[in-house]
Chain A
Amino acid sequence: MKQSFRLLSSFLVSLLISENVFAAACCGGGFAAPSVIAGDDKALLTTSYAMTEVAVDNVDSQGIWRKWDEHQKVQTFRIEGAHIFADRWQAGLAIPVIQRTHMDSNYSGLGDIASMIGYEYLPDWDYNPYRPKGIGFLQITLPTGKSRADSEVGGLDSRGNGFWALGLGTLLTKALGKWDVFSSLEVHRSFDKVVSNSQISGTLKPGLGGNLGVGGGFNSKDYRLGSSITLTYEDPIDIESNQSKTSGAAERYATAVLSASYLANDEWAGTLSYSDQTLFGSPVNTSLGRGIALQVQRRWGR
């Protein structure tokens, strides 16, 4: 059971950090939480590499899918860490670097940096057969990545949401023999921002957004096979200026993930995952991608 928890923890980190999960493929960035220690570790350091290709360039407000022959490719390198302090408290930080490529154009740079404080509000000290383990977290996202609205090349050089954002979330996990299940919920509020470039001039007024994920896996010796689905929603981003107000449009999509994890020893684990945004849900006002990601994690026990 303890082994399955370690593998689950590793995968959950992969799930929660993956830009593939929480971002529309074409542009901008997602609201991905930094690593959350869901197992019995004291600290962890994770590096990951993800490659995503835009499969559907645009799903419009009516749910019509459109695609061309040439697609964007997005590569994300991410490093993050988390550390336990004061027994049930933890803090984490995630730093992504993103590169977008489209035909002959290539843009790269820092994405949105995310910081997190978490608390294990539902500990699993007595391994209750029914009660899950619960971790709540507060997340602050720094607008260090250029947003879509800031971009003057159609979002190609965008690497983040571009807003200060505050989020609350929770992760529930449960091991059931060789199986494990989890659910995650996160809601965030982004804050207004003034922008002025050749495309637009005014105040961007975002709203609320959130992610809801469920999944599970099977553990056998040092291996885990898992799957999950995450639903993502973002409020419209309106643009206000002295002369006018332009209404944005809500964004919605679902990301399915299949993963395989390997626990080499108590200190090292790796996860390979495949994500696909074209399979589920009723997406609107977004682009959809498919990608693979490789994550290597170093862990320190308590």
Chain B
Amino acid sequence: MFGKTLSAFTLASSIILSSGCAQPKYIKGENGTSGEQSQQESKATCANAFSVSGYCVTWNWETKPTASAMGSLVFKTYRLSSYDQTPIETDAASIPRLILWMPGMGHGSSPTTVTRIEVGTYRASNVFFIMPGEWELKFQIKEGSEIKDEAVIPITF
């Protein structure tokens, strides 16, 4: 009796559950390192820029974060010379903040700390990604709670 019951239940469940099976597309992770995506320093072509001031932004890892440890990055703000388009490092209107944002999931990560190293050069520490995936580096100039200027760089971590 139990055998027939189990068989019937198994059959019914199989019919229901066999449709629409997930087809996972995994990417081999490096357990938190930046992996296959390039985070090379941008060339002086101003690939990323603040939307209001037009100042360019480049960045690279100083210490890559992992799944369990925070990291840090160094970023530079500059303008292109009107004469020969060479980069001229320039301080932003104020020390930019760095917000880590995951647009697909609708959340950020733990706050970072930004300090000025020299003209147009800043270090962002306490950089930590709570999960792998598609993130945005949001460099922001704020006055109080109002964002005055922003540069957004997408990365895949």
| Chain A residues with a Cβ under 8 A of chain B | 26-28, 56-58, 60-61, 63-70, 102-103, 148-149, 151-156, 158, 179, 196, 198-201, 214-216, 218, 220, 225, 227-229, 237, 241-244, 246-249, 254, 256, 258, 278-287
Among A68, A70, A179, point to the contact of B12 (Cβ < 8 A): A179
With a cutoff of 8 Å between Cβ atoms, the chain B residues found around residue A179 in the complex are 12
Report the separation of the CA atoms of residues A183 and B58 in the bound assembly, to the nearest whole angstrom: 53
Report the separation of the CA atoms of residues A281 and B150 in the bound assembly, to the nearest whole angstrom: 37
Residue of A nearest to B35 (CB): A66
Q: Is B120 an interface residue (CB 8 A)?
A: no
CB of B107 within 8 A of CB of A218, answer no
CB of A68 within 8 A of CB of B31, answer yes
Report the separation of the CA atoms of residues A241 and B9 in the bound assembly, to the nearest whole angstrom: 54
With a cutoff of 8 Å between Cβ atoms, the chain B residues found around residue A200 in the complex are 99, 101, 108
CB of A67 within 8 A of CB of B107, answer no
Q: In terms of DSSP, what is the predominant structure of the interface of chain A? A: loop
CB of B132 within 8 A of CB of A57, answer yes
Task: State how many angstroms separate the Cβ of B144 from the closest Cβ of chain A.
Answer: 9
Q: A154-B130, A218-B5 are in contact. Are A70 and B67 (CB under 8 A)?
A: yes
Report the separation of the CA atoms of residues A42 and B103 in the bound assembly, to the nearest whole angstrom: 46
Q: In terms of DSSP, what is the predominant structure of the interface of chain B? A: loop
With a cutoff of 8 Å between Cβ atoms, the chain B residues found around residue A285 in the complex are 104-105
Task: State how many angstroms separate the Cβ of B146 from the closest Cβ of chain A.
Answer: 7
With a cutoff of 8 Å between Cβ atoms, the chain A residues found around residue B29 in the complex are 66-68
Q: Choose among B23, B24, B147 the residue with the greatest number of A CB atoms under 10 Å from its CB.
A: B24
CB of B105 within 8 A of CB of A281, answer no
Q: Is B43 an interface residue (CB 8 A)?
A: no
CB of A66 within 8 A of CB of B27, answer yes
Task: State how many angstroms separate the Cβ of B157 from the closest Cβ of chain A.
Answer: 9
Q: Is B17 an interface residue (CB 8 A)?
A: yes
Per-position 1/0 for B62-82, Cβ under 8 A of A: 000001100000000000000
Residue of A nearest to B109 (CB): A154
Among B5, B20, B131, point to the contact of A68 (Cβ < 8 A): B131
With a cutoff of 8 Å between Cβ atoms, the chain B residues found around residue A70 in the complex are 67-68
CB of B27 within 8 A of CB of A68, answer no
CB of A151 within 8 A of CB of B108, answer yes
Report the separation of the CA atoms of residues A71 and B68 in the bound assembly, to the nearest whole angstrom: 11
Q: A57-B131, A68-B132, A103-B68 are in contact. Are A254 and B109 (CB under 8 A)?
A: no
Report the separation of the CA atoms of residues A158 and B17 in the bound assembly, to the nearest whole angstrom: 31
Residue of A nearest to B144 (CB): A201
With a cutoff of 8 Å between Cβ atoms, the chain B residues found around residue A249 in the complex are 103-106
The A-contacting residues of B in range 132-150, CB under 8 angstroms, are 132-134, 145-148, 150
